[in-house]
Amino acid sequence: MLGAYLPIIVLVIVAALFGLVSVVMSSIIGQKKPSPVKLQPYECGCEPVGSARERFSIKFYLIAMLFILFDIECVFLYPWAVLYKRLGLFGLAEMGLFIVILFVGYIYVWKKGALEWE
Amino acid sequence: MDIQTLFFAVVAAVAILSGILVITCRNPINSALSLVMTFFCLATFYVMLDAPFMAAIQVIVYAGAIMVLIIFVIMLLNVRVESGKKYTHGVLIGSIMAVLLLFEAFYFLNRSSLTGARGMIDANVVQNVGHVELIGRAMYTDFLLPFEITSILLLVAIIGAVILAKKKI
């Protein structure tokens, strides 16, 4: 049974090895000449301004919550797409109703300006 | 011990280890990343239980979206590395309860036997028909009303999220 998932397992192992080998090899082979400038956090080449550990705005949280909700909508679309031919017009109608109800939510989000970055 | 049992043992060990790391890590971000590892192990278990669609959902929704939310909460509250203070209250009662629950689980698992008739859908059916199709067939025919109600639940959640997090509505 697990044979069908062998490619995924191989991919996971290769990905883990790639990360591990890169870090280990560079720490073994690479030269180490530490200086205070090198230890600074990288901020697109600019001088770092303040600490990186600042409180994040709730705006990120709002976007993340909306992302989850529409992510769950997508989850429902997968089995529907697989069964689309079998369900026919009936399936189209029920998914249409589902999408329309969520589209009302989408319009609400848009009209309330929750997608604006203010 | 065949290869499948061995694989299960390895994944179970990783799941337990990362679960322990979730509650022992001092840095909350490390805890959150350990939780991602636990979710991936659970997805592997779903695959081993012939439920590949559940595994995909576990990775997409839990390891993806919900972990983003948890990490945003950590950053929103600006939780720092926990100070070295030891929390000792409730440890005794907690451990007694845990041991009792473990004992109870072992007792009933050893004593009882599976009862009832087997369902129509077993591993063979899942592999022949396909897991996604089986779920879809049940959800879009027999459980049509709950499926449509889900959309209203999601709508309520969308409005709730906007009202909670938006400064001026």
Give the ipTM: 0.75
Give residue B81's pLDDT: 64
The fold of B1-85 is: Four Helix Bundle (Hemerythrin (Met), subunit A) (1.20.120)
Pair (A26, A60) in one structural domain: no
Whether A69 and A111 map to the same domain: the answer is yes
User: b vs e for A33-46, b when ≥16 Cβ sit within 10 Å of the residue's Cβ?
Assistant: eeeeeeeeeeeeee
Of the candidates B133, B155, B157, the beta carbon closest to that of A82 is on B133
Q: Is the pTM of this model over 0.90?
A: no
Name residues whose C-beta falls within 8 Å of residue A92's C-beta, 6 or more positions apart in sequence.
A84
Whether residues A27 and A83 share a domain: the answer is no
With beta carbons under 8 A apart, name residues in chain B contacting A54.
78
For residue A77, is it within any domain?
A: yes
Number of domains in chain A: 2
Token representation of residue A112: 């309330």
A82 part of contact set with chain B, CB < 8 Å: yes
Q: Which domain holds residue A73?
A: 56-118
The verdict on residue A18 lying in a domain is yes
What would the pLDDT profile of B156-169 be if each residue is shown by its tens digit? 999 998 998 887 76
pLDDT-derived band of residue B43, with 50, 70 and 90 as boundaries? very high
Same-domain status, A25 and A64: no
Q: Are residues A15 and A65 in the same domain?
A: no
